[in-house]
Structure 1
Amino acid sequence: MSNEVKTLYITDGEDGIRVDRFFKRRWPHINHVMLNKLLRSGQVRVDGGRVKADTRLAIGQTIRVPPLPAAPDVDQQKRERAMLSPQEIRFIRSLVIYEDEDVIAINKPSGLAVQGGTKTKNHVDRLLSAWGEGLERPRLVHRLDRDTSGVLLLGKSPQAAARLSGAFAKRRANKTYWALVVGNPKPEEGYIDVPLIKKGFHDREIVQPAEPNEVGAEAAETEYVTISRAGPRVTWMALRPHTGRTHQLRAHMQAIGHSILGDPKYGNEASQSLSEGLQLQLHHRRIELPHPTSGSLIIEAPLDPVIKAGFDRFGFDEHEAENDPFANMKKKKR
């Protein structure tokens, strides 16, 4: 990684270009997720001000470019692929639940990180070398928390990845998560509009409710609906995030007093007493969004063994749920 902060001037050939296109031209290895993180944190600035990915640049403007990760070493990538064992290759390929010419969908298991870090050596991004390198290597277009299971989409080409990423950025991806939470939320369905702010660092980072005008606060919106109940103790919820903040669903359910079971970071005393032997009961069940080429893409992920353990304990049957639990809710709003 370069430690240098650069200030660049927009030239004739870049007049009118979007910020995300500007970065894609100059640093093609910086993906949509990485760029959005830099933009949200204010590390990328134009004429000293914050900008969004779709902001258009003009001749003569200055753009602040923070230190960026170095482009991947192709030879190093090949070495990493060679280091994948046959068992690892079989494992990641066994997770595939859908594939066509443009898209791969895997059912990410709980406990497997999507991307690496200082203490994370095994992750989905590393295992994607099972498909090859260069243009053959699938690309991540969104993320899931390490302990959240379910649908994870990959673009099989730069073009497909860009279109999928664009659907997420424009909020055209309808995501449905299943969660087991403590207690019975009242009302049974509703909308959580609570800004969130990050506190702490790395493993100690936690997300908390914030005032809308608080420095560092980010808007966060979640729709929810009750699917079934196990008496007054536990409720099976469908959650739909309309924004993509870190730990959003976990923090929002804690904020309304109904923490997700098995959550060591956002649990409360009541949820912890019901969570013995359970890990995080949060599963990305279904996603619907425009296909990169044509039509719509709808993917559903079977239950991961981690959340299946919760379903079995509290007597829930996955077949009780409608394909889109939010469909009736939308009708009521019309």
Structure 2
Amino acid sequence: MIIPDDDDAPPGEVVALTLTAEDAGGRLDKTLAERLPDLSRARIQALMAQGLVSRGGVVLTDTSAKAQAGDYELLIPPPEAAEPQAEAIPLTVLYEDTHLIVVDKPPGMAVHPAPGTPNGTLVNALLAHCGASLSGIGGVARPGIVHRIDKETSGIVVVAKTDAAHQGLSALFAAHDIDRVYVALVRGAPSPARGTITTQIGRSSSDRKKMAVLKSGGREAVTHYAVTAIYGPQKKPLAAKLECRLETGRTHQIRVHMAAKGSPCLGDPVYGSGPPAPAVREAMAKAGLTRQALHAAVLGFVHPVTGETLRFESAPPPDMATLEALLSAL
């Protein structure tokens, strides 16, 4: 089963090294282990078996192959997360039945444990709220999770409590048969005021923790957007409010697409690409915005078990609501 790729967890550490002609000739796994003392020969063999070792972009899986001169890259996955523990964290529950639960996630809460965020996550809270009813298909560290939003993005998330719901929701997301609308406050305003952004998105070649629009490779990403309010001069807006409807769900998709249009989300620490106007910065400070101004406002889908049409709406939390009011006064 493939979970839609909208997670913000880094892919792991990339280790690069160059083997010279003097290094060539011996077994590849042994040679790499000699050059990388932090990795055992057995560890390198395991990485090769997983397709995580490459030379010049070509994946290498034969551990007994002879080492050749060239540039090698090893992707070291993050350590496996320990089984998460239940934590009595308050939740805003929008809907719950025996099959699934829909919650309004606050900013600052990660969806599931990951390196650097071992607890305090939505999963930890759900384990306390739902107990053993969470679906295990998502794995030990991600029980019931069928989609994800960034830690600092607020808004609606649906989680499966049974295997049947998990499979049904996963199929809906894979078929893009989910209504997902985000509200974003951005720098300036994209032109035209309404449109569809279709690109390939993948890991940035310069920073593996960032995503980027790629000319080739990556995965197709489609965002439909519309400007719903302009702040400041109409001819040269200082900021704008957008509704973004996701057709696909790639990592950081809206943030990457808005940045590519020259209107990154306000407060985005990764894709901000330059400060907003002084008046907008002042409004952000007064509102207490310390994150990207992005909120998952609408989630609609057909219940995978009962067939009921469900639609949920969530108003932006205080930081975004206050910022919007301050921007309206510009």
TM-score of the superposition, structure 2-length normalised? 0.66
1:259, distance to aligned residue in structure 2 (A): 0.7
1:266, distance to aligned residue in structure 2 (A): 0.5
Which residue is equivalent to 1:25?
Answer: none
Which residue is equivalent to 1:288?
Answer: 300
Q: Separation in 2 of the partners of 1:142 and 1:271?
A: 31
1:144 to 139, 149, 156: 149
Q: Separation in 2 of the partners of 1:172 and 1:34?
A: 12
Q: Structure 2 unaligned runs (5+)?
A: 12-49, 52-75, 136-142
| Contact 2:182–2:295 (8 Å) recurs in 1 | yes
Q: Separation in 2 of the partners of 1:35 and 1:269?
A: 27
Q: Separation in 1 of the partners of 2:204 and 2:5?
A: 21
Report sequence identity in percent.
30
In the alignment, is residue 205 of structure 1 matched against residue 209 of structure 2? yes
Q: Which amino acid aligns with 1:33?
A: I
Check 1:154–1:95 CA distance in 2 against 1; reply closer, same or farther (3 A cut).
Answer: same
Q: Which amino acid aligns with 2:323?
A: G
Q: Which amino acid aligns with 2:225?
A: Y
Which structure shows the bigger proportion of residues in helix conformation?
1
Secondary structure of the residue that 1:166 maps to in structure 2? helix
2:264 to 250, 259, 267: 259
Report how many aligned residue pairs link the two structures.
246
1:130 to 124, 128, 131: 128
- Misfit runs of 4+, over 4 Å: 34-37, 67-73
Q: Separation in 2 of the partners of 1:272 and 1:130?
A: 44
Check 1:237–1:289 CA distance in 2 against 1; reply closer, same or farther (3 A cut).
Answer: same
Structure number with the bigger relative contact order (C-alpha 8 A, sep ≥ 6) is: 2
1:291, distance to aligned residue in structure 2 (A): 1.2
2:102 to 92, 105, 120: 105
Q: Which amino acid aligns with 2:3?
A: V
Across the aligned residues of Structure 1 and Structure 2, the Cα RMSD in angstroms comes to 3.3
1:305 to 318, 323, 327: 318
Q: Separation in 1 of the partners of 2:244 and 2:253?
A: 11
Q: How does 1:1-334 map to 2 (within 5 A)?
A: 20=1, 32-33=2-3, 80-81=85-86, 84=87, 88-89=88-89, 91=90, 94-122=91-119, 123-135=121-133, 139-199=144-204, 205-211=209-215, 214=216, 216-231=217-232, 232-271=237-276, 273=278, 274-275=280-281, 276-277=284-285, 278=289, 279-292=291-304, 293-315=306-328
1:252, distance to aligned residue in structure 2 (A): 0.3
Check 1:136–1:313 CA distance in 2 against 1; reply closer, same or farther (3 A cut).
Answer: same
1:100, distance to aligned residue in structure 2 (A): 2.8
